[in-house]
Structure 1
Amino acid sequence: MAPYEALYGRRCRSPIGWFDLVDMDSLDTDLLRDVMEQVRMIQYRLLTAQSRQKSYADRRYIPDESHVLSLDSEELSPDFTFEEEPIAILDRQVRKLRTKKIALVKVQWKHRSVGEATWETETDMQARYPQLFKALGTFFYFMFEDEHDS
């Protein structure tokens, strides 16, 4: 069953379906020929427009090789997923809510620029990557707590 027929409960009445084989003898052949020629012209114009739009889209597409990882340089898990690793903590700030404070750290990830660093919660990062916080030392925390607590 066609989607139109399922939705509306009747067949779609397109110009092609208007003429049954039985009625062709009673219709003027010039009228039938004109209508069929118009249908062919509409089909041709639709195909031409579709082809033109596809060619524009194909010209605008530029493959970006920077998003492709080589399999030799990265370790993939057995299910072919890749987890990025943090390489540095760039900043720390404390967000104050009504009843609590949330400590955030700005993390630079491997294979990403400094501009693409993200803010993550400090507790999650400490639990997952404790080696980053051992390298920072205690001076880092005192320096930022003085700035953000005041």
Structure 2
Amino acid sequence: MGGSRSPIRWFEARDVKPLEVELVKDAQDKVRCIQAKLLAAQSRQKKYADHKVRDMEFQTEEEPIAILDRDVRKLRTKEIKSVKVQWKHRPVKEVTWEAEKDM
């Protein structure tokens, strides 16, 4: 028994403090990293939610007043019919192309 030493005795008292400080610094770095990731995720979610709200406002507040043109785009397996729409409360230069089925 005389030759084995307990792992607890491997460190001198003066060595323990720098190790503890290093562990605390490492933990603080990890916390900062997690906080940054959470903020980035929250920011992405807010942008997504804001975009959804804008889409809903657009759908409920905008009203088509005239169809100015029509177009059919042919893909391999289907045709997509589109209409050029003038919207109420918007200048003529802000017309948009929309799927005919949505109008």
Which bracket does the TM-score occupy, shorter chain normalised?
0.3 to 0.5
How high is the TM-score relative to the length of structure 2?
A: 0.42
How high is the TM-score relative to the length of structure 1?
A: 0.33
More strand by share: 2
More helix by share: 2
